[in-house]
């Protein structure tokens, strides 16, 4: 059975709930909720597992805080013997307009500390990542305050549809592969 590691980036703690930086956690929570999956505390995070069309998906929310996410990714990739191309990291992207979803199989960290640590821990920039745009015209001058800020009412209203699209991308990635998924979803 093919295994996949789907990693939602975020920070643990109630003070980070519903913040832009935690979109990875939000995506996995929505995915799990729809399937009534429960996350269990595991080493370096919390995890839920689900089978889908002959594949086993490990949904991981690292507990290492954003800047040390790579440690959890590397540990579970090694522990479950999951190949690099079967890892999908879901993260926020300050450079993309709100709600834009972009799947890439390689690339720079774009200044994102979570991706920077994953790149360092895996010693490569060649791993799939799904970027969720959080850029807003109402962005505060302080980047840290903005990414750790809560969604606006307008953004909150649009989130359920975007989270559903992330779910579709996850399932496509695991069944159709990254190239077909990029062709089907990038640019929407």
Largest CA distance in the chain: 48
pLDDT (0 to 100) of residue 140 = 62
Digit-by-digit pLDDT tens for the chain (188 residues) are 899 999 999 999 999 999 999 999 999 999 999 999 999 999 999 999 999 999 999 999 999 989 999 999 999 999 999 999 999 999 999 989 999 999 999 999 888 999 999 999 999 999 999 999 998 776 666 788 888 889 999 999 999 999 999 999 999 999 999 999 999 999 77
pLDDT (0 to 100) of residue 144 = 83
| Residue 21 designated active-site | yes
Distances in Å between the Cα of 175 and the Cα atoms of 10, 35, 53, 70, 86 are: 25, 18, 7, 25, 11
49-64 as b/e: b if 16+ CB within 10 A = eeeeeeebbbbbbbbb
pLDDT (0 to 100) of residue 45 = 97
Instruction: Give the number of domains in the chain.
Output: 1
> Which of these is catalytic: 21, 33, 52, 135?
21
Torsion of CA 145, 113, 25, 171, to 10 degrees: 130
CB 136 within 8 A of CB 149: no
Q: For the whole model, what pTM was predicted?
A: 0.95
Distances in Å between the Cα of 107 and the Cα atoms of 18, 111, 112, 130, 155 are: 27, 11, 12, 11, 27
Q: Angle between the 113-122 and 69-79 helix axes, to the nearest 10 degrees?
A: 40
Torsion of CA 146, 149, 152, 155, to 10 degrees: 80
Instruction: Look up the CATH number of the domain holding residue 176.
Output: 3.40.50.1470
10 Å CB burial of residue 155 (0-12, 13-18, 19+) is middle
- Domain enclosing residue 53, as ranges: 2-185
135 forms beta bridges with 97
Q: Count CB-CB contacts under 10 A for residue 103.
A: 22
Question: How far apart, in whole angstroms, are the C-alpha atoms of residue 29 and residue 18?
Answer: 11
């Amino acid at each position: 059975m093919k295994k996949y590691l789907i990693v939602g980036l975020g920070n643990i703690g109630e003070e980070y709930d519903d913040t832009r930086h935690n979109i990875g956690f939000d995506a996995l929570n929505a995915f799990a909720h729809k399937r009534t999956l429960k996350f269990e505390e595991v080493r370096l995070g919390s995890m839920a597992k689900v089978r889908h069309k002959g594949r086993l998906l490990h949904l991981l929310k690292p507990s290492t805080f954003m800047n040390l996410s790579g440690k959890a990714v590397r540990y579970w990739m090694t522990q479950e013997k999951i190949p690099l191309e079967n890892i999908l990291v879901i993260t926020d992207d300050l450079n993309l307009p709100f709600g834009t979803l972009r799947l890439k199989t390689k690339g720079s960290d774009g200044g994102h500390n979570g991706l920077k640590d994953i790149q360092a821990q895996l010693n490569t920039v060649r791993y799939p990542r799904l970027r969720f745009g959080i850029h807003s015209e109402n962005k505060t001058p302080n980047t840290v305050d903005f990414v750790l800020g809560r969604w606006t009412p307008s953004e909150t209203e649009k989130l359920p549809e975007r989270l559903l699209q992330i779910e579709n991308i996850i399932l496509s990635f695991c069944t159709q592969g990254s190239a077909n998924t990029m062709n089907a979803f990038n640019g929407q």
